[in-house]
Amino acid sequence: MQISNPIRHLLWRFAEPHSRQFVGGCVLLLSALVLQRIPALVIGVALDALLLNSQTFTLPLVPNSWIPESTPGQTTLVVSVLVGALIGESAFRWYGTLIYEKATLETLHDVRTSAFETAMSLPLLVHQTEDRDLLSVLNDDVDNLEDLFDGARAAVLYSGELISAFAFMILLNWNLALVVALLPITVAFTARYYASVLEPRYDTVRSTVGGLNTRLRDAINGIRTVKALVREEREADRVTGASGEYKRSAWSVLKLRAIYNRVSWLLAAVGVWGLFGLGSYWILTGPPVTFTQSLTAGTLLTFIMYTFSLMDPTRKLAVDVLDKIESGQASSRRIAPLFWHDASAACDDAPELTVTDGHVEYTAVTFSYDDAETPTLDGISLDVPPGDFVGIVGHSGAGKSTLLKLLLRFHEPDTGEVRIDSQPISEHSLESLREHVGYVSQDPFLFPGTVHENIAYANPDASREEVVDSSRRAGAHEFVSDLPESYDTELGERGTTLSGGQRQRLAIARALLADPEILVFDEATSHVDTETEVEIQRQLQAEAGDRTVFAIAHRLSTVRPADQIVVLNDGQITEHGTHEELVKHDGIYATLWAVQTGKFAADATPEAGVSDSEVSR
């Protein structure tokens, strides 16, 4: 699904439900602005009527009959209006801000949770290729979206300040208001010009700070390699270089900003002085040029106060608010495509897969990754009877993991079909498929939490006995018992760190606890020592017959007892049989076996395809 206007789409979907709060907040804030303008107006009137005695006491839009005739009465009115306006403005501003910010937080919460749910439901392929982007969308862009709402509120506020000030000025003296209008226009143009000069320099600052952060992160992440190769000095030089670039780019921005601050201060000062000069001339000699309205000292004072208060909103409106809105728009353009996946990802109303035996069939399956020139899997056909233990071996990059990822529908075949118990898996719901197929990867992920919670991840209601039982079968119980708090030991960043082999055994326990009919081990015991592996295998074989097990292994002892061993080469099954049959066959498997058992003859042919990396595995 393509979205023609991503910002409108996001706002409609997430902000619209909170529109009443947004509008209510804005109305209250605008009302506060009107109240904010009243003191300057009243002070001007009081100056003319009470201090200079040059005018009668009148207030725009207020009937004269409401105004007391005595001076003490008028003074009381002035003080009451000032206090009332102050209290009213504070109350409206406080409550308006509260309502608006609550609506913003709720909208961002909805965007964040919805974006996360969508990201979790995306096909694995999207995660593999776009994980960095996804993280930055979920982390940075959703936060940045706040800029859009802040910017919109600031736009309403600052425009309101300008409009309300001008409305009062026009009421008092529209002739002078026309002249004063030149000032914010000049300030706005200067601010835009400054922003256009500054923007490329800001880009440079952003890219140099990004470069510096990358250098720091790489050096710290790779500290073992740096130290092992004695490259500390070289890394320090690189960081000094990157920091120097950042310093230079930041300095060029600081210089420009200092100039701009002075220029805008000068503009404001000259504008107010000019207004004072023009106003004084106007008061003393009458309206200049073609103007007709007269001017009093009190009105001039009100104009000067309004003019001062216009400078900041104008500058902010011209630069900061536009920047915020642009940055928010850029983020919403990045967030919206995440929801483009939405329709296909969320729609999984296919019938449930029913697995009774665990009979798996691949029929003429072909699959290519998007950027691959040749198919990763090419015409794979494989029949795995229920309860079979299938070993999958082959060179690195032969397509072993991909073959099993198709069984979990992490990817879909381009042609051909995968069936479980005669049901094409593509026609059944993903959720039901993954309930029946357990998967343990080479580098399993453990979440922060206790050992118990990690094993019971797929089945949080499992009892301690069930957790311990699957842990025993996975060969994990012994080392877990030695942990400080056994199954209640905290794992993760702030907890105990486990070795690769221990993590694998917990992941196997987790898969066994979920009790699926089909189990997939993708080099799931590669970090486990041979002795433990034999133990795990013994357990698994004891359970064989009940479940179908696929195991990818570079260490051939892992798959030796398998009912069938599949040798993949360049995406095709080149050998297929039991260990004994394949050793006799004298192909790739036999060569690998010979290497691993130390029977490899010095004259092994390169065609046998045994690479150094495999020998070293």
Ligand X SMILES: Nc1ncnc2c1ncn2[C@@H]1O[C@H](COP(=O)(O)OP(=O)(O)OP(=O)(O)O)[C@@H](O)[C@H]1O
- From 104, 314, 402, 470, residue interacting with ligand X (rule: CB under 6 A): 402
Nearer to ligand X, 496 or 574 (CB): 574
381: left (phi over 0), alpha (psi -120 to 50) or beta: beta
| Contact between 376 and ligand X per CB under 6 A | yes
- Nearest alpha carbon to residue 80 among 42, 117, 49: 42
**Nearer to ligand X (CB atom), residue 416 or residue 449:** 416
The answer to whether the CB of 466 falls within 8 A of the CB of 482 is: no
Tokens of 468: 């311990």
> Cα dist. 128→323, 360, 408 in Å?
33, 26, 15
Question: Is 190 or 402 the residue whose CB approaches ligand X more closely?
Answer: 402
CB 5 within 8 A of CB 266: no
Question: Could you say which DSSP state residue 137 is in?
Answer: I
| Least distance between ligand X and beta carbon 413 (Å) | 13
Binding flags for ligand X, 81-120, as an x/- string (CB under 6 A): ----------------------------------------
Name residues contacting ligand X, limited to 113-132 (CB under 6 A). 128
Radius of gyration of the chain from its Cα atoms, rounded to whole angstroms? 37
Applying CB under 6 A, the site for ligand X has a residue count of 13
Instruction: Give the interface segment with ligand X, choosing from 16-24, 199-207, 368-376, 586-594 (CB under 6 A).
Output: 368-376
Whole-angstrom distance, CA of residue 547 vs CA of residue 564 = 15
Residue 555 or 560: which CB sits closer to ligand X? 555
Q: Between 23 and 135, whose beta carbon lies closer to ligand X?
A: 135
Residue from 104, 144, 401, 526 in contact with ligand X (CB under 6 A): 401
CB of 522 to ligand X, least distance (A): 7
Shortest Cβ 557–ligand X spacing (Å): 16
Residue 566: strand pairing partners: 392, 576
CA-CA distance, 476 to 470, in Å (whole number)? 9
Instruction: Find where tokens 């001017």 sit.
Output: 295
Structure token digits, residue 120: 């979790």
Q: CB-wise, 400 or 409, nearer to ligand X?
A: 400
Token match 């207030």: residue? 59
Tokens matching residue 30: 């605008």
**Ramachandran region, residue 230 (left: φ > 0; alpha: ψ -120 to 50; beta: rest):** left
Residue in the block written with tokens 């009774």: 356
Q: Is 412 in the site for ligand X (CB under 6 A)?
A: no
Q: How many other β-carbons are positioned within 10 Å of the β-carbon of residue 280?
A: 13
Site membership for ligand X, residue 174 (CB under 6 A): no
Q: Which stretch binds ligand X (CB under 6 A): 28-36, 56-64, 371-379, 449-457?
A: 371-379
Rounded Cα distance, 262 and 122, in Å: 52
Out of 210, 286, 351, 397, point to the residue binding ligand X (CB under 6 A).
397
Instruction: Give strand pairing partners of 424.
Output: 419
Residue of 89, 235, 517, 523 marked active site: 523
Q: Contact at 8 Å (CB) between 363 and 416?
A: yes
Kindly state whether residue 173 participates in binding ligand X, applying the rule CB under 6 A.
Answer: no
Our finding on whether 400 is near ligand X (CB under 6 A) is yes
Minimum distance from residue 401 beta carbon to ligand X (Å): 3
**Residue 548 engages ligand X in binding (rule: CB under 6 A):** no
Should residue 396 be labelled a site residue for ligand X when binding is judged by CB under 6 A?
yes
Encoded tokens for 318? 């011209």
Q: CA-to-CA distance for 174 and 167, rounded, in angstroms?
A: 9
Query: Using CB under 6 A, which of the segments 288-296, 397-405, 456-464, 589-597 binds ligand X?
Result: 397-405
Is the CB of 130 or the CB of 466 nearer to ligand X? 130
Comparing CB distances to ligand X, the nearer of 303 and 362 is 362
Is 504 an interacting residue with respect to ligand X (CB under 6 A)? no
Q: Does 399 bind ligand X (CB under 6 A)?
A: yes
Q: Which of 339, 358, 554 is nearest to 442 (CA)?
A: 554
Residue 146 catalytic? Answer: no
Q: Is residue 369 at the binding interface for ligand X, with CB under 6 A as the rule?
A: yes
Stretch that binds ligand X, among 59-67, 206-214, 389-397, 458-466 (CB under 6 A): 389-397
Give yes or no for a contact between 45 and 175, defined as CB atoms under 8 angstroms apart: no
Q: Is residue 503 close enough to count as binding ligand X by CB under 6 A?
A: no
| 409 lies in the binding site for ligand X (CB under 6 A) | no
Contact segment (CB under 6 A) with ligand X among 112-120, 158-166, 369-377, 465-473 equals: 369-377
Residue 319 interacting with ligand X (CB under 6 A): no
Sign of torsion over alpha carbons 428, 429, 433, 436: negative
> Where do contacts with ligand X occur on this chain (CB under 6 A)?
128, 369, 371-372, 376, 394, 396-402
Active site residues: 523
